[in-house]
Amino acid sequence: MRVIAIANQKGGCGKTTTTVNLAAAFGRHGSRVLVIDLDPQGHTTLGVGCDPESFTKTIYNAIVDLKVPIESVIVPSKAENVDVAPSNVLLSGTELDLATVEGREFMLTEQFKTINDRYDVCIIDCPPSLGILTLNALIASTDVVVPVQVHYYAMEGLKQLFETCEIIQEHFQPCKVKITGLLLTFVEDRLIFTRQIEQQMREFFGDLVFDTVIHRNIRLAEAPSAGQSVITYAPDSKGALEYLALVDEILHGREYIRAAKGDKSDAETSEESQIDSASLQQITEQLTETFAENQAGVSEENQESLNETQTDSIPAEESPELVNEIQTDNIPAEENQESVNDTQTDSIPAEESLELVNDIQTDIIPAEENQESLNETQTDSIPAEESLESVNEIQTDSIPAEENQESVNENIDTVNQSQTDQPVVIAEGTDSDKSAVGSNNG
């Protein structure tokens, strides 16, 4: 069984992501894969679709007590051909539990003796430290893959890891662990600084750096929330294809990958890189100096490229034309009045473009310049002396009596006439009634 430790004491460099997706990629190739989660956070356990708190036994029980066989803590995962030895927060107490145990560095190695024939590949997710858990993983491993974030601070942790592997090879026998390669993670090709670090690491470490790099990819970030690897979550994504390519590079070597790509440079003469402490010390010092210079400022030869990618920082005196195109708001009116007039219409003086101002801001047109328009839109404000006829029609109740006396008199005459025209009706009666009427008249 080939045992690959994913190790780097620096946190946040992609160890868990690499463990989950590399295991799934090996499983996709048909290998029988075992994942060992040695990080007390249990993120690898989550990443393969298991709940860390749901297990009564975890890898912690198998490490602190050899009487608990590792087979009893292994469970299947959601990934094809992949099993997992889960972990949870209890694993953080391993250091204290093994403090007085003799041979505590070989606990995982002893457990592997019972499962060597069951799996083709075992991948171990190491915690971000060089404690007893990482030491157990390195001693039990045949290969070490080191995820390295393309960042200045990654160099310090890389130096300590190389020294630790060298000490293990000298003092813990039999131990055949070797650093198989450095895996560059979170790569962003568009950043000049990232490209510089990648180029310098390849120059210094040579073939120890994998040709395959892992770019920053949204699918890699989304897959853990679904409890899956990116191989099953988004099989056609860039992240999935890169981890599948990494498996080919680990299984067949860099020469095979380069030949498949048609790159025959150094394919026949390249040898496996082995770096001792002296050369590593020299390399890390050189890299540290170079990275420190890059942190302090960009070199003159890259200033032109930096100006292209960071346009906002171009001084106006160096490229006024470009600045004027991007930052129109900052253009002085006297330098580019025409552009200002097009983009900032509100600031056009009335005397320069009165017609445009009248169209946009009708409310501020003086009455003496556009009295006719005001009369149409603001009828209520028309003076009585200018439009008496209109006022009389709208406000009839307010007409003075002296101006409408004739109309009143006509209405009174009409009423009187209607009253005089009514006939007096006398009913016919008897002679006695008539005589009574006559006497009354007399």
Per-residue pLDDT, 12: 85
**How does DSSP assign 211-239, residue by residue?**
S---B--HHHHHGGGGTS-HHHH-TTSHH
Which tens digits make up the pLDDT trace of 4-36? 999 998 888 899 999 999 999 999 999 999 999
Strands 82-85, 75-76: parallel, antiparallel or unpaired by DSSP? antiparallel
**Domains in the chain, start-ordered, CATH in brackets?**
2-296 (3.40.50.300), 310-354 (no CATH), 365-414 (no CATH)
Which tens digits make up the pLDDT trace of 348-392? 454 554 555 455 454 544 545 545 554 554 545 445 455 445 445
Per-residue pLDDT, 205: 87
| pLDDT of 37 above 50 | yes
d(Cα 356, Cα 313) in Å, to the nearest integer?
A: 36
Which tens digits make up the pLDDT trace of 135-193? 999 999 999 999 998 877 776 668 788 888 888 888 887 778 889 999 999 998 888 87
Query: Largest alpha-carbon pair distance within the chain?
Result: 166
Q: Say if residue 174 is preceded by a cis peptide, omega within 30 of 0.
A: yes
d(Cα 32, Cα 42) in Å, to the nearest integer?
A: 22
**Sequence letter at residue 280:** L
Per-residue pLDDT, 15: 94
| pLDDT of 402 above 90 | no
Which residue is associated with the tokens 């510089």? 196
How would you class 224 by CB atoms within 10 Å of its CB: exposed for 0-12, middle for 13-18, buried for 19 or more? buried
Per-residue pLDDT, 267: 44
| pLDDT of 281 above 70 | no
Per-residue pLDDT, 426: 41
How would you class 347 by CB atoms within 10 Å of its CB: exposed for 0-12, middle for 13-18, buried for 19 or more? exposed
| pLDDT of 339 above 90 | no
Which tens digits make up the pLDDT trace of 217-245? 999 999 999 889 999 999 999 999 999 99
Per-residue pLDDT, 384: 45
Whole-angstrom CA distances from 434 to 27, 300, 423, 425, 438 are: 138, 141, 20, 15, 6
Which residue is associated with the tokens 């009585």? 384
Per-residue pLDDT, 261: 67
Residue 129: pLDDT band (50, 70, 90) is: confident
**Sequence letter at residue 139:** I
pTM, two decimals, is 0.62
Q: What is the mean pLDDT of residues 58-83?
A: 94
In 3-state terms the chain splits into helix, strand, coil percentages (rounded to 5) of 55, 10, 35
